[in-house]
Amino acid sequence: MYEFHRFMRPILLLVHSFWIPQIITNVIRDSRKPLHPHYILGMTVTRLAIPFYVFGCPHNFMRIEPDKGWCIFLGVFMGFQASILLLQHYLGSRWFVPHQRV
């Protein structure tokens, strides 16, 4: 990551988009309660720990300046993905697809 310092944020955004394929798969297969809510929340929180440390702690091992805005953006982005998955769990996997398209 030291060589790709300029590209670290786009790479992290891509890496932390890991729930998007699951959301799409749930819609295509019309999965019924595909993932347990504890798993969704646990994976989301634990995967945010390292980026929050790197971009939030002023004395991190990579010596990157803290960026509160990036931490907030990444947290909201991951929270949005997790909330879509949770809504798929409780309301059905195609809750946001218009009925004409189903």
Q: Where are the domains of the chain?
A: 5-91
| Average pLDDT for the chain | 88
The answer to whether the beta carbons of residues 62 and 4 sit under 8 Å apart is: no
Residue-wise pLDDT for 59-100, tens only, equals 888 778 888 999 999 999 999 999 999 999 999 888 888 777
Q: What percent of the chain has pLDDT over 90?
A: 51
Rama region for 46: left / alpha / beta (φ>0; ψ in -120 to 50; rest)? alpha
Q: What percent of the chain has pLDDT over 70?
A: 94
The answer to whether the beta carbons of residues 40 and 26 sit under 8 Å apart is: no
Tell me 99's DSSP state: T
Does residue 4 have a pLDDT over 70? Answer: no
Tell me the two tokens of residue 76: 């909201």
pLDDT at res. 68:
92
The answer to whether the beta carbons of residues 23 and 16 sit under 8 Å apart is: no
Ordered alpha helix ranges (H), 1-102: 8-15, 20-29, 37-56, 68-91
pLDDT at res. 2:
58
